[in-house]
């Protein structure tokens, strides 16, 4: 990954890459008033803090909303609270084994993706956050730099061994368990005892029901491929569709009460700490603002500080511009979030409602409002329930 201090959580979220790209200074945005058009239920805002686990927080939030939808849960007091770090623990352990099998020729960091979570849930089930908080190392919020460094050093050392011992895997797993806690074999919810697998099934989560979509031209459309980003260490496959079709699927999902797990680039200037994600065309917007009569005669509101913009001009993303940015690494796999609704601003413009995992921060207490242009331009992939596909894609994929 790359990025700026504003995205400190996203920096560690999916594993930084060398050659960080500096963000341009964000302009002063005007005030917005948002009205919800359609929104599915979500669970409370969580805080990944100093951990690179946005992928687990976003996908677990997505599955919590799925459990609410599938179980028709109306009472917020009954909303599920799944453990993010149960998933992280299993992912670390399986990634270590693959790293060793590949003699260290695999990225090894805290970052991953929604597909990883779906695989863990398929193979290992789900547990509640109460059963495994992941906070076994003495801090109130996730703080994983030490753990990440220890695990990386461990697998690097093991990968250099000429002959592996029978102890390396037990040792690695023991380190993970000491930091994150040992995964429970059974746990209790509302007086009933579950295993991770039986709880997953009781929540009606079937991992085979979820599909990941992407949109790039270096592979043929309507085929499957593993998105070539370092954090896709499992090689999870996405179905490749034109970007307008991906956006149509997203709209169809949201309009029908579904949500989406969203992998995106958040390095763009228009992704702000105050809960906005706007694909601002910085040059066009600055040019429009600089020519105002007021500024010509009396200057900016505060010397050295730009006046709040009254008009934002957005760039127009295309299939071609997406591919160019993906190829030249100006669009990278930064951050995982949860899209759960549609809103409009005071001028009637459409936005997507996004649940983040940085705590109740910003103007909207942990919710971001992303324009259609931003989502169209910056999306790496989305994961949805296959029932939320458009009729045309269902037909192409043989989904009933």
The pLDDT > 70 percentage for the chain reads 87
- H or E stretch covering 180: helix 168-180
The answer to whether position 353 is within a domain reads yes
Provide the domain count of the chain.
Answer: 1
- pLDDT at res. 18: 35
- pLDDT at res. 227: 98
* pLDDT at position 247 over 50: yes
Q: How many CB atoms lie within 10 A of CB 29?
A: 15
CATH number at residue 156: 3.90.70.10
C-alpha span between 214 and 379 (Å, rounded): 8
The answer to whether position 176 is within a domain reads yes
- pLDDT at res. 170: 98
Distance between start and end Cα atoms, the chain: 38
Q: How many CB atoms lie within 10 A of CB 292?
A: 14
The answer to whether position 301 is within a domain reads no
pLDDT in tens, 251-268: 999 999 999 999 999 999
The answer to whether position 286 is within a domain reads no
- pLDDT at res. 205: 98
- pLDDT at res. 284: 73
The answer to whether position 40 is within a domain reads yes
The answer to whether position 290 is within a domain reads no
The answer to whether position 198 is within a domain reads yes
Asked whether the beta carbons of 220 and 297 are under 8 A apart, the reply is no
The answer to whether position 84 is within a domain reads yes
Lowest-confidence segment of 58-72, 277-291, 368-382 by average pLDDT: 277-291
Asked whether the beta carbons of 339 and 351 are under 8 A apart, the reply is no
Pairing outcome for strands 367-371 and 192-194? unpaired
* pLDDT at position 1 over 50: no
Q: Which two tokens stand for residue 32?
A: 């917005």
- pLDDT at res. 393: 96
Mean pLDDT across the chain = 90
Facing residues of 358 across strands? 47
Residue 190 belongs to domain spanning: 5-279+314-397
For the segment 113-136, the average pLDDT, to the nearest whole number, is: 98
């Amino acid at each position: 990954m790359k990025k700026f201090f504003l995205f400190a959580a996203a920096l560690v979220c999916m594993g930084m890459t060398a050659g960080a790209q500096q963000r341009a200074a964000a302009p002063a945005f005007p005030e917005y008033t948002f009205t919800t058009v359609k929104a599915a239920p979500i669970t409370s805002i969580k805080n990944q803090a100093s951990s690179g686990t946005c992928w687990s927080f976003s996908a677990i939030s997505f599955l919590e909303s799925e459990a609410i939808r599938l179980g028709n849960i109306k009472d917020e007091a009954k909303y599920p609270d799944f453990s993010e770090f149960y998933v992280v623990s299993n992912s670390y352990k399986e990634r270590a084994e693959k790293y060793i099998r590949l003699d260290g020729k695999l990225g090894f960091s805290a970052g991953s993706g929604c597909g990883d979570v779906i695989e863990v849930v398929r193979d290992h089930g789900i547990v509640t956050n109460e059963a495994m908080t992941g906070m076994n190392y003495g801090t109130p919020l996730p703080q994983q730099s030490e753990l990440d460094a220890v695990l990386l050093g461990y697998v690097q050392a093991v990968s250099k061994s000429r002959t592996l011992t029978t102890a390396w895997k037990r040792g690695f797993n023991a380190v993970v368990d000491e930091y994150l806690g040992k995964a429970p074999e059974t746990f209790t919810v509302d007086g009933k005892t579950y295993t991770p697998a039986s709880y997953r099934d009781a929540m009606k989560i079937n991992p085979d029901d979820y599909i990941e979509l992407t949109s790039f031209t270096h592979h043929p459309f309507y085929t499957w491929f593993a998105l070539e980003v370092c954090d896709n260490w499992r090689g999870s496959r996405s179905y490749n569709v034109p970007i307008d079709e991906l956006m149509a699927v997203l709209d169809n999902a949201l309009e029908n009460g579904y949500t989406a797990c969203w992998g995106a680039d958040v390095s763009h200037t228009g992704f702000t700490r105050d809960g906005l994600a706007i694909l601002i065309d910085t040059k066009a917007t600055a040019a429009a603002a600089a020519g105002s009569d007021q500024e010509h005669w009396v200057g900016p509101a505060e010397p050295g500080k730009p006046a709040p913009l009254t008009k934002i001009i957005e760039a127009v993303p295309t299939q071609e511009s997406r591919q160019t940015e993906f190829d030249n690494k100006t669009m990278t796999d930064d951050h995982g979030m949860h899209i759960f609704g549609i809103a409009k601003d005071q001028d009637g413009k459409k936005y997507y409602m996004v649940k983040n995992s940085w705590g109740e921060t910003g103007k909207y207490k942990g919710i971001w409002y992303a324009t259609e242009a931003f989502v169209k331009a910056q999306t790496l992939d989305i994961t949805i329930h296959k029932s939320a596909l458009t009729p045309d894609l269902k037909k192409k994929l043989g989904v009933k």
